[in-house]
Amino acid sequence: MSLRAAVLRHIRLPVQTLPAIGSRPQSQLSFLRLFSSHDDHLTKEEVIDRVLDVVKSFPKVEPSQVTPDVHFQKDLGLDSLDNVEIVMALEEEFKLEIPDKEADKIDSCNLAIEYIYNHPMAG
Amino acid sequence: MAFTLRSVKVPPNSASLEEARGRVFDFFRQACRSIPTIMDIYNLDDVVTKSQLRSTIASEIRKNTHVTNPKVIDMLLFKGMEELNNIVEHAKQRHHIIGQYVLGRQGLAQDLDTKDEGVSDFLKNFYKSNYF
């Protein structure tokens, strides 16, 4: 009986000291939110960088002329088929599938960056 | 079956050049979206990149930009779809793909060297006609 009480006393001790130590890990983890997907979107700089990289690595394009608001057909001198090809390259880079109606509207770097930034599935 | 779905999709006639051009872009997008499958089937990862294949497909399409008759465009699209179907359903082999779509741009080196490079202008004119 006394042994049991002694053992129980020993077991109870760690529970009492927990609140003193336990509060710190919780406050550190409170802004980690491991299962939240709200912080998952790409930042605008990242989108701009990756879009410009895709456009610059297009073989018919001069890398020095590429700016974030360049127009594919007017400024870079590409034709409509090249436009579609650039949109397909962007689809591959960001793992998206852009429907045809939207893809036809994407005519310049601006529109591409906007569309990708606003797309929830951009990866 | 993925490949039979593709070939059935081509409808009879395009009404205008605009509609035909829309169909060309649809075909191009479809071909580009099946590039990952193609690279996987034929193990092309160390031979060519996806963007090179895209450029190749675009230049093949561009070879026919001078065509203005929508019916001719429809016919060319039908042939293109057929070719795409054949490739995706593994009816072709790796050396076909490499020879037709990877190497085709600069040509096989031997052909370019020996064909017309060293021949003189006189001989070229001579081969063309009697009067020069």
| Distance from the B121 Cα atom to the nearest Cα atom in chain A, whole angstroms | 33
The pLDDT-based confidence of B108 (bands split at 50, 70, 90) is very low
Q: CB–CB of A92 and B25 under 8 A? A: no
Tell me the pTM: 0.71
The pLDDT-based confidence of B32 (bands split at 50, 70, 90) is very high
Which of A6-14's residues contact partners 24+ apart within 8 Å by CB, and which partners?
none
Burial of B20 (0-12, 13-18, 19+ CB in 10 A): buried
User: What pLDDT is attached to residue A123?
Assistant: 78
pLDDT for residue B84 is more than 90: yes
Q: CB–CB of B29 and A58 under 8 A? A: no
Q: CB–CB of A81 and B51 under 8 A? A: no
- For residue A59, give the nearest of B32, B55, B61 by CB distance: B55
| Mean pLDDT, contiguous 10-residue spans, chain A (123 residues) | 72 55 50 60 86 88 86 87 91 89 88 88 80
- Residue B113 CA to chain centroid, in angstroms? 24
Q: Token pair 């509609």 is at which residue?
A: B19
User: What pLDDT is attached to residue B112?
Assistant: 41
The answer to whether the beta carbons of residues A113 and A42 sit under 8 Å apart is no
Alpha-carbon separation of residue A14 from A5, A7, A98 (angstroms): 15, 12, 57
Choose between B127 and B108: higher pLDDT: B127
pLDDT for residue B14 is more than 60: yes
The pLDDT-based confidence of B100 (bands split at 50, 70, 90) is confident
What residues of A are in the B interface, CB distance below 8 Å? 57-59, 80-82, 84-85, 88-89, 91-92, 97, 100, 103-104
User: What pLDDT is attached to residue A66?
Assistant: 86
A79 catalytically annotated: yes
The answer to whether the beta carbons of residues B50 and B39 sit under 8 Å apart is yes
Q: Which two tokens stand for residue A114?
A: 């906007």
What is the interface pTM, i.e. ipTM, of the complex? Answer: 0.70
User: What pLDDT is attached to residue B39?
Assistant: 92
Beta bridge partners of A108: A71
Q: CB–CB of B29 and A57 under 8 A? A: no
Q: Token pair 């895209």 is at which residue?
A: B54
| Distance from the A100 Cα atom to the nearest Cα atom in chain B, whole angstroms | 8
Q: What share of chain A is helix, strand, coil (3-state, %, to 5)?
A: 65, 0, 35
Range name among A87-91, B8-12, B113-117, B123-127 with the lowest pLDDT average:
B113-117
| Distance from the B4 Cα atom to the nearest Cα atom in chain A, whole angstroms | 22
Q: CB–CB of A81 and B55 under 8 A? A: no
